Every structure is written in structure tokens, then in C-alpha cells.
Structure 1
């Protein structure tokens, strides 16, 4: 799965089909009508509060799609060493590498599409982290 283009409505619709959730249950949970639900399926983006409610209903963290996109496609920031951290919003010390991201990266190396140096430079993944993934992948395949 590639995270470059996210059409959240399509992901939601696919998850609804996987979970076999009825339209009646969706409408009751979200307190919306069928027309609204169909519009969500066609939407490339939706309100975060609504996305949170969909995540709860479908027991799937749709926000991870966006986190994965940031990890893979956002350029690394030029972080200042003395930059002050905000006390008003949460600060996340590390990126979260999901298994899907690890598989995506490992597949690019195994297919010869990119080498380790290119992966490290392109996605700002620490060399030790990448080597750990490769080692675990080798151990699992033996």
C-alpha cells in the first residue's frame, strides 16, 4: 500500500466492506443519513472529529495513514538544537514506523529499486534502525 495519495473516503468504504457493517448501524452510530455516508465515501478528506468517530466504529486507526505519509514523504525538518518544545500540545519524540512502512522500505531494497544509502537519505531513517529491520527480516526468512 502506498501512502502518497490518500483518499480517505475510499479507505473508509473498503473497511466498511471488510467489517460487513450495515448502513443502518453506520447511520445510527454517526447520527447521519445515508446520503451523508455516501458523500463521505466520495470525499478525499473529512473533518478530524468525523474521522475519529469512523476510527472508533470501524476499529481502525485511519490517522495512521497520514502519519505514514508524513514519515515517507515529508522532508526532514531542519530542527534547531535549542528549539523550545511546546507545553500546550503533545510532543512525540520518535516517528512511529508501522509494519506496513517497514515492509514498504524492505521491499524497495529487496527489489533493487533503492539501496540502503538511498533509503537512509530519502526517508531519513537512521542507519541502525534500517540495519535492525534488515537483520530481523533475514532472521524471519531463515
Structure 2
């Protein structure tokens, strides 16, 4: 649903929820009863870029879709892989992992996003390998499998 051809860089959670509500055919009156709020408050949620985690959890349960996964996929795509070091002073520092790869972390939506950016010329092959830490062999398999 949401993941297909989705831009994980710019997330507007309210509009994603509204789209899922429409797809599921959920009535506004049902939502007002469920959330114990007015139509105006539901509409405000649709226009909000972000929502409180408890509200987002309620939407996820109601619509049977994991909206938190969208944020997780954003982190995988746009944050460098890091590891946490706790120094003797008790301070936490983050260090980039060199050459480490976490297997099976890429969903179909993420693979399509990466391949689409290659196809459109938004990213070069080398950029994808470096930025997302994908092994060459994996990227080759994706290209053969999904194109």
C-alpha cells in the first residue's frame, strides 16, 4: 500500500493515514467514536506531519498497518549504520561501522526505492553502494530480480 513508490525521505504521516483510511473505507463517524474526538480533530490529524506515538499506535492497530515501519525504513535509508561506544566517563559516542552489513533488512518498498533512484539517475551505482552499505552482489541480484 504505502511503501510502493514511496519517498521515504519526506514523511507526512497524517496524509498517509488519511490515504489508508480511504483505502479501507472507514467512516469518519466510526473514527470519531473510536478516538473519542470530533471530526475537526480527525481532520487535524490528517494535516499533521507527525503524530504522538500513542495516537500513531492506535491508528496502526485500527488500520492494521505498521506506520512505525515507515520511520524505521527512513532510518535504514538515510542514517549511517552506527555502533554505540560507552566510554569510561559514561558518555555515549556513535561510530560508523565500516564494512558491516545487516542481512535481510531491506523490504520490497525500499528495494524499489533504491532501484528507482538508479533508474531515474538520481543516484549513481557507486553512490548507492556507499550510502546504503549494500554489497555489490546484493545490488546485482536486485537489479536482475526486480527489473
TM-score bracket relative to the smaller structure:
0.7 to 0.9
Query: 1:18 is matched with which residue: 13, 18, 23?
Result: 23
Query: 1:74 is matched with which residue: 76, 79, 83?
Result: 79
Residues 108 and 114, structure 1, Cα contact 8 Å, conserved in 2: yes
Residues 71 and 95, structure 1, Cα contact 8 Å, conserved in 2: no
Per-residue Cα deviation, 1:22-66 (whole angstroms, up to 9, x for no partner): 011112222322222122112111111111110111122111211
Q: TM-score, normalised by structure 1?
A: 0.76
Residues of 2 paired with 1:129 and 1:50: CA distance? 37
Find the counterpart in structure 1 of residue 13 from structure 2: 8
Is the alpha carbon distance of 1:112 and 1:5 closer, same or farther for their aligned partners in structure 2, counting shifts above 3 Å? closer
The Cα shift of 1:68 comes to 1.6
Is the alpha carbon distance of 1:48 and 1:94 closer, same or farther for their aligned partners in structure 2, counting shifts above 3 Å? farther
Q: What residue ranges of structure 1 are gaps of 5+ in the alignment?
A: 81-92
Find the counterpart in structure 2 of residue 118 from structure 1: 127
* Structure with the largest fraction of strand: 2
Find the counterpart in structure 2 of residue 127 from structure 1: 136
Q: TM-score, normalised by structure 2?
A: 0.74
The ranges of structure 1 where at least 4 consecutive aligned residues each deviate by more than 4 angstroms after the TM superposition are none
| Residue 117 of structure 2 is aligned to residue 103 of structure 1 | no
Q: Secondary structure at the match of 2:30?
A: helix
Residues of 2 paired with 1:33 and 1:45: CA distance? 19
Q: Secondary structure at the match of 2:114?
A: helix
Name the count of aligned residue pairs.
126
| Residue 65 of structure 2 is aligned to residue 65 of structure 1 | no
Q: Tell me the C-alpha RMSD between the 2 structures.
A: 2.1
Q: What residue ranges of structure 2 are gaps of 5+ in the alignment?
A: 1-5, 86-101
